[in-house]
Amino acid sequence: MGEARAAAGYLAKYVGKALADESHGRRPFGGHRYEVGQGFTPVVERITGRTAGEVLDAASDRMGGSPVRQWNSVTQENWKGSPAVWAQWNR
């Protein structure tokens, strides 16, 4: 459990940094952002829905509770990219 929390925190840091860098033109879109920790094998879980709310609800069910932090591109006045949502859960 601690390993997953550490990996999630590490990834969240770089996602936030990537969003800030791309908005200021410092990093090319789609560029390399993080390394997978030695011995850690991430598992992809696809969640689909008709709306961001449906996807967050389904993710919350899988994570066992609501996210402790959220970010949504619709709240960003000058957002020029595709719609994006980020959420963080503590387990």
pLDDT digits (tens, 9 = 90+) for 50-68: 999 999 999 999 999 999 9
Task: Determine the pLDDT at residue 42.
Answer: 77
CA pair distance 85, 72, nearest whole angstrom: 4
Q: Is 28 helix (H, G, I), strand (E, B) or coil?
A: coil
Nearest C-alpha neighbor of 70 from the set 82, 52, 43? 52
Residue 11 pLDDT exceeds 90:
no
pTM for the model: 0.53
What's the length of the chain?
91
Q: How many CB atoms lie within 10 A of CB 45?
A: 8
Task: Determine the pLDDT at residue 60.
Answer: 94
Average of per-residue pLDDT values in the chain:
79
Task: Determine the pLDDT at residue 43.
Answer: 83
Q: What sign for the dihedral angle of Cα 9, 64, 60, 40? A: positive
CA pair distance 63, 56, nearest whole angstrom: 10
Residue 49 pLDDT exceeds 70:
yes
